[in-house]
Structure 1
């Protein structure tokens, strides 16, 4: 991450002024591939998708990219489940921890910075993701449920409470099944997104090239009873 500031004096007030004129976020791999001694500065900023002031001479500011605290005692090392999947994997064959890692891997493929949380001490959070985009970005809490039956509205209410407790900008609930009318009505107008099994399979194909299946075993029982609305 890089935020370029200029320190000057505000001519209107005479007070010190610190203005951000350029901001960008990139990975270490991309940055180390640059030959900085040979690049054109403006062309390089464009390649890195930087936000640059439209009028630097007038100190027109840009909003700095978000910087997140990536240290949390709940975070654990995630497993790369995506790369080890069969060509046509059945998501119901994964263990609970593998499914949570899969969701974490997927959102990472979608451009978010993700962290997997401990299974028994997560406080209702399976994955924490960070969207670094200015204005639209922020902290995202994600819950994953391998369910056969419709996910009840109580799970959606719990997610909303977690979003508030975590100070997150958004909450995402991902399931292998679906949601009822009450869940969508509760989520309406709130920073919540409900992803069904069909949504999940589409995202896996679109962002990871995985054509997943959801085939329920005959003896499948949902991990916990849920109120289905």
Structure 2
């Protein structure tokens, strides 16, 4: 897990109890939160830089044989529904990065076309309700 895009992420998870709304987080803090959460779930995770990140907010590595591998994660702090274009972008990023899985995490939800595109692909769509 060496990549020049990696940065030192902040520990947003420990301060979350003080914030009543995920929309109050800056985009960078939201990306740090997502990175913190995947790390807390046992994945080796690293946040990428804010710009020129190749469409990747976080890279995680699942060490499990067969089921594991490189996971690219995109974090969307949106109020409105996430459209299919974001899912298509993530799929292209997965191909470019050689990732075994892609995860799109949003504070909002996804449209029908987003779920249809992700169906049958190694993509997880996590909506705000799942995140909470």
Verify same fold: TM over 0.5: yes
Report the equivalent of 1:177.
108
Report the equivalent of 1:134.
65
The yes-or-no answer on 1:168 pairing with 2:99 is yes
CA distance in 1, matches of 2:122, 2:2: 24
Unmatched runs of 5 consecutive residues or more in structure 2: none
Quote the offset at 1:89 in angstroms. 2.6
The yes-or-no answer on 1:153 pairing with 2:84 is yes
What are the Cα deviations for residues 37-95 of structure 1, in whole angstroms up to 9, with x where unaligned?
xxxxxxxxxxxxxxxxxxxxxxxxxxxxxxxxx21100000111111223563101111
CA distance in 2, matches of 1:181, 1:171: 18
Identify the structure with bigger relative contact order (alpha carbons < 8 Å, sequence gap 6+): 2
Q: How many residues align?
A: 132
Aligned counterpart in structure 2 of residue 123 of structure 1, from 17, 30, 54: 54
The yes-or-no answer on 1:198 pairing with 2:129 is yes
Structure number with larger C-alpha Rg: 1
Change (3 A) 1:107 1:175: same
Q: Runs (4+) of structure 1 moved beyond 6 Å?
A: none
What are the Cα deviations for residues 97-123 of structure 1, in whole angstroms up to 9, with x where unaligned?
100000000000111000100010111
Partner SS state of residue 86, structure 1:
helix
Report the equivalent of 2:9.
78
* 1:45-60 equivalent positions in 2, closer than 5 A: none
Aligned counterpart in structure 2 of residue 107 of structure 1, from 30, 38, 55: 38
Partner SS state of residue 114, structure 1:
strand
Partner SS state of residue 17, structure 2:
coil
What TM-score, normalized by structure 1, do the two folds share? Answer: 0.57
